[in-house]
Amino acid sequence: MKTEIVEKKFMTLLPPNPGVCQECAVAHEPEMPHNAQSLYYQTKFNMAHGRGATWKDAMEHCSKEMKADWIKALKEKGVDLKAGKVNPEKVNP
Ligand SMILES: [Zn+2]
């Protein structure tokens, strides 16, 4: 009899504390984007979608105006949104 051993890798995340956003584990108003820099958000998103989250994903539920404000602010901070970056580019001195 042939025995097949299947190794399965499971990963679980403990839920965030009550009182913070349950998607990104950061305290923010529901109309605001999730914090794309949150390790919790990145991990949860990656487990669901098999890739890292971008700011576009993080603001998917936001209004057009909210998205526009955040895109402007992130660009001003030097975040390359088109490249799917979540952090500002490091500026060399
Ligand atoms: Zn959130």
**74-88, pLDDT tens digit by residue?**
999 999 999 999 999
Q: Sorting pLDDT into bands at 50, 70 and 90, what band is 90?
A: confident
pTM of the model: 0.83
- Give alpha helix (H) positions in the chain: 39-49, 55-58, 64-76
Residue 2 has pLDDT above 90, yes or no: no
SS3 at position 68? helix
Q: How far is the CA of 23 from the centre of ligand 1 (A)?
A: 5
Q: How far is the CA of 10 from the centre of ligand 1 (A)?
A: 24
